[in-house]
Amino acid sequence: MGGAVVDTGDSGVKAPDGGWGWAVLFGCFVITGFSYAFPKAVSVFFKELIREFGVGYSDTAWISSILLAMLYGSGPLCSILVNRFGCRPVMMVGGLFASLGMIMASFATSIIHIYLCIGVITGLGLALNFQPSLIMLNRYFSEKRPLANGLAAAGSPVALCCLSPLGQVLQYKYGWRGGFLILGGILLNCCACGALMRPLKAPKKTSEVEEKKETKPKPKAKLLDFTVFRDPGFVIYTVAAAIMVLGLFVPPVFVVSYAKELGNEDTKSSLLLTILGFIDIFARPTCGIIAGLKWVRPRCVYLFSFAMIFNGTTDLVGSLAKDYPSLVVFCIFFGISYGMVGALQFEVLMAIVGTEKFSSAIGLVLLVEAIAVLVGPPGAGQFCSSLSVFCQKWICHKISI
């Protein structure tokens, strides 16, 4: 069985930059979509859950928060499992967990059961898929890696545009229990994506000298390599990523509420997220193409820095928006900057630490980001609720910068 081959990330195996790599890219595209869009797609069921269990909106909001915390906070665990067993078996088991959590949630009798099933079990399952898929993408692509990362990152806005309307249809036709059951079946596709992650094998060596070298015992691989913290570039990246994530997800959360406060109707306000997502779909692969240009790729870190500054500046200018047309312009430019950040964040990390240490590095980075993801939107929302609506936008740009 292919999954028995442990993915060691051997530098002697050259990335094919194509071939089966395109199948791996497709799997990563789907997994990225599920991982980032699913927490938002589940939110369409919140009103039904509030009515069913007699809880408040803040109680249901914890479902997405716990799910995201598991997605990010399980990073080190994923690194250990991948370094021990390989990407393919970890992803297939993760797909079963993701599906099982949603299926169990359809039989829930309290909001606590939802927390455990969707938040913990499904969140862990998605985490066991998300990180290994990025690791495999890094191993299959080298020269075309920026483009591959951009295309894979586009799975997030595409899935969001599909899963949210699908969730509404399922809720209308089958209720929240039937909707959870069907979504659980859809998540079984994670297992199929995991099956696509075929490990790379080193070419056969015919030389007797090389065969003798193979007989020498290799040093035992570390399950979690903390030596990445010795690299100043990695430390700077981790700190910057944590600060960025602290405010990166705030504007999409509050822009609809801000539009409603300005007197716009619900449908018109919700259209802002559609505009943002549509721009994001094209911004990510386009940025990947630009980052792959010969004269840009050696300076990819600077392009990423520009993307973060662009994102923060967009929020700064957007805080001045006082009418609907201004918010549309804000969403267009935010979608571009948001897509740039999404396409470049893991490409830059790969460039800093290299292939061999990437599996450990991404796990540690995601763990640090987990704290920021939990604190960001709830903290901004609580602070803004006691101040003016204008502060929502102000907080967004201050944190993002």
Instruction: Compute, in degrees rounded to 10, the torsion defined by CA atoms 142, 126, 95, 14.
Output: 10
For residue 158, the one-letter residue type is V
Q: Say if CB 225 and CB 52 are below 8 A apart.
A: no
Which pLDDT score, from 0 to 100, does residue 379 have? 55
Q: What is the C-alpha to C-alpha distance for residues 162 and 40, in angstroms, rounded to an integer?
A: 11
Which pLDDT score, from 0 to 100, does residue 216 have? 56
CA-to-CA separations, 73 to 127, 218, 246, 373, in angstroms, rounded = 9, 31, 15, 10
316-370 residue pLDDT tens:
888 788 888 998 999 899 999 989 998 898 889 988 888 788 888 888 898 888 8
Q: What is the C-alpha to C-alpha distance for residues 309 and 83, in angstroms, rounded to an integer?
A: 35
pTM beyond 0.85: no
138-165 residue pLDDT tens:
889 988 888 898 999 999 889 888 887 8
Q: What is the C-alpha to C-alpha distance for residues 81 and 97, in angstroms, rounded to an integer?
A: 15
For the chain, list the domains and their CATH numbers.
Answer: 15-195 (1.20.1250.20), 225-400 (1.20.1250.20)
Q: What is the C-alpha to C-alpha distance for residues 201 and 394, in angstroms, rounded to an integer?
A: 51
pLDDT < 50 regions, the chain: 1-11, 206-207, 209-210, 388-390, 392-401
Long-range contacts of 321-328 (CB under 8 A, 24+ apart): 321/393, 322/262, 323/262, 324/259, 324/262, 324/264, 324/268, 327/255, 327/258, 327/259, 327/262, 327/272, 328/272, 328/275
Q: Say if CB 61 and CB 377 are below 8 A apart.
A: no
Which pLDDT score, from 0 to 100, does residue 329 have? 92
Length of the chain: 401
